[in-house]
Amino acid sequence: MIKLHDLEFEPYISEEEIMMAIEEISVKLNKDFGHKRPVFLGVLNGSFMFASEIIKRFSGDCEISFVKMGSYEGTETTGEVKTLLGLNQELKGRQVILLEDIVDTGNTLVEIDKILKKAEVEDYKVVTLFYKPEAYKKNIPIQYIGMEIPNKFIVGFGLDYDGLGRNLTQVYKRK
C-alpha cells in the first residue's frame, strides 16, 4: 500500500508484467519497423519510462522526439487537451510511432492526430502500454497495445497523481 497526497493505492500490475508487455510490443515493432527509420514520438510526461524501454529494445535506426500534452487535474480529466510543448522536429513524409503511456478517453490522441496531419507525416502508428477499452470512445486506431485494463485510476511507471508516483516501477490502482 502507498499513499500519494490524500489517496491510497494498492499494488496492481507488477514490474515483471509491465516488462513482458513491453517485450511483446518491441518484438512487433522490430518486425514492422526494424528496416525503416521511424521517428518515435513520446507523449510527456507519462510516457517517458515506456518510451525509454521501447527505444532500448529497437534494433533499427530511429529518432526520438517528444510532445507534452495536458488534460488531467487530480484524478479527473478536464476534457480539454492543451499542448504544453510542441513538436520541434520536421516530420513531413516520415513514419511516426506515437508512444503513449495510457489511452483512456482518447482526447489526447485526437489532438495529436491533428498535429501529425498538419505536419504531413507519411503515416503514424499508435503504441500504448495501457489501454482502457471501456473509456475509449474515439475512432483513431491503436495498433499496438501492451495491456487492456479496466477503467480504474492508476499510478506508477510514468503515470502520476498530481505529480507523484511517476517513479514507481510497478503500477498501483486507487484503493
> What whole-number distance in Å separates Cα of residue 11 and Cα of residue 135?
22
**Taking phi first (over 0 means left), then psi (-120 to 50 degrees means alpha), and beta for anything else, what does residue 124 get?**
beta
> What whole-number distance in Å separates Cα of residue 22 and Cα of residue 3?
27
Sign of torsion over alpha carbons 101, 102, 105, 110: positive
> What whole-number distance in Å separates Cα of residue 120 and Cα of residue 108?
18
Given the residues 6, 104, 113, 162, the one annotated as active site: 104
Q: What angle do CA 104, 110, 115 make, to 5 degrees?
A: 135
**Which residue, 75, 56, 52, is CA-closest to 155?**
75
Name the DSSP letter for residue 156.
Answer: B
113 annotated active-site: no
Active site residues: 104
